[in-house]
Amino acid sequence: MPYRIVSLAALFLAYSFLGWIIESSYKTISRRRGFVNSGLLSGPVVPIYGFGAMGIMLVDDATRGLVFPLRIFVLALLCAALEYIVGWLFETVFKTRLWDYTDRRFNIRGRVCLSFTLAWAALATVFIYFVRPFFERIAGELLGFAWMPWLLGAAYAAFLADAAFSFRSLALTSSFIAKLRARLEPFDLDELRSSAHGMKRRLLSAFPNLLKSVSDTIGQDLARRLHEEGGDWFLKALRAMREGTPESEALDPDYLSAVGDILLDEKVQSMGAIRHHDGSLLVHSLTVSLASYYIARGLGYDAVSVARGALLHDFFLYDWRTARGTGHRTRHPGIALENATARFKLNAMEKDIILSHMWPAAKPFYSYKESFLVSTVDKIVSTKEVAKILKELMPQGVKA
Ligand SMILES: [Fe+2]
Ligand SMILES: [Fe+2]
pLDDT tens readout for residues 218-240: 555 555 555 555 556 666 777 67
Nearest ligand to the CA of 331 is: 1
* Preceding amide of 333 cis, omega within 30: no
pLDDT tens across 292-303, in order? Answer: 998 898 888 899
The pLDDT of residue 324 is above 90: no
How far away, in angstroms, is 323 Cα from ligand 1 center?
14
The pLDDT of residue 180 is above 60: no
How far away, in angstroms, is 285 Cα from ligand 2 center?
6
How far away, in angstroms, is 187 Cα from ligand 2 center?
26
Q: Which is more confidently placed, 42 or 200?
A: 42
Residues with CB under 5 A from ligand 1 (ion): 314
Q: Which is more confidently placed, 372 or 279?
A: 372
Nearest ligand to the CA of 357 is: 1
Nearest ligand to the CA of 320 is: 1
Nearest ligand to the CA of 286 is: 2
How far away, in angstroms, is 262 Cα from ligand 1 center?
18
Low-confidence winner among 34-48, 259-273, 386-400 (lowest mean pLDDT): 386-400
**Residues 195-198: contacts with CB within 8 Å, 24+ apart?**
196/365, 198/168, 198/169, 198/172, 198/173
For residue 2, name the pLDDT band (cuts at 50, 70, 90): very low
How far away, in angstroms, is 367 Cα from ligand 1 center?
17
How far away, in angstroms, is 384 Cα from ligand 2 center?
12
Domains and CATH numbers, the chain: 5-167 (no CATH), 229-393 (1.10.3210.10)
Nearest ligand to the CA of 385 is: 2
> Which of 1-5, 65-69, 165-169, 194-198 has maximum average pLDDT?
65-69
Q: What is the pLDDT of residue 140?
A: 84
The pLDDT of residue 201 is above 90: no
**What are the Cα distances from residue 126, in Å, to 44, 56, 76?**
22, 11, 13
Angle at the Cα of 380 (from 374 to 384), degrees rounded to 5? 140
How far away, in angstroms, is 316 Cα from ligand 1 center?
9
How far away, in angstroms, is 390 Cα from ligand 1 center?
19
Q: What is the pLDDT of residue 371?
A: 93
For residue 343, name the pLDDT band (cuts at 50, 70, 90): very high
For residue 305, name the pLDDT band (cuts at 50, 70, 90): very high
Low-confidence winner among 108-112, 132-136, 219-223, 226-230 (lowest mean pLDDT): 226-230
The pLDDT of residue 356 is above 90: yes
Nearest ligand to the CA of 288 is: 2
> Which is nearest to 311 in space by CA: 396, 214, 381?
381
How far away, in angstroms, is 357 Cα from ligand 1 center?
7
Please name the residues in contact with 389: beta carbons below 8 A apart, sequence gap of 6 or more: 277, 278
pLDDT tens across 381-398, in order? Answer: 888 777 766 665 554 433
User: Distance (Å, rounded) from C-alpha 232 to C-alpha 107?
Assistant: 41
Q: Which is more confidently placed, 391 or 41?
A: 41
Q: What is the pTM of this model?
A: 0.47
Q: What is the mean pLDDT of residues 52-70?
A: 86
Q: What is the mean pLDDT of residues 7-35?
A: 86
The pLDDT of residue 346 is above 90: yes
How far away, in angstroms, is 293 Cα from ligand 2 center?
15
How far away, in angstroms, is 262 Cα from ligand 2 center?
17
For residue 35, name the pLDDT band (cuts at 50, 70, 90): confident
Q: What is the pLDDT of residue 400?
A: 34
How far away, in angstroms, is 311 Cα from ligand 1 center?
11
pLDDT tens across 150-168, in order? Answer: 888 999 999 999 888 887 7
Mean pLDDT of the chain: 79
Low-confidence winner among 16-20, 91-95, 211-215 (lowest mean pLDDT): 211-215
> Which of 161-175, 232-246, 369-383 has maximum average pLDDT?
369-383
How far away, in angstroms, is 286 Cα from ligand 1 center?
13
User: Distance (Å, rounded) from C-alpha 328 to C-alpha 318?
Assistant: 10
Q: What is the pLDDT of residue 173?
A: 62
Q: What is the pLDDT of residue 395?
A: 45
Backbone angles phi, psi at 275, to 5 degrees: -75, 140
How far away, in angstroms, is 115 Cα from ligand 1 center?
44
How far away, in angstroms, is 31 Cα from ligand 1 center?
29
* Residues 58, 12 contacting (CB under 8 angstroms): no
How far away, in angstroms, is 313 Cα from ligand 1 center?
6
Q: What is the mean pLDDT of residues 3-7?
A: 75
How far away, in angstroms, is 332 Cα from ligand 1 center?
7
How far away, in angstroms, is 242 Cα from ligand 2 center?
15
Nearest ligand to the CA of 355 is: 1
Nearest ligand to the CA of 377 is: 2
How far away, in angstroms, is 45 Cα from ligand 1 center?
41
The pLDDT of residue 145 is above 60: yes
Residue type, 36: V
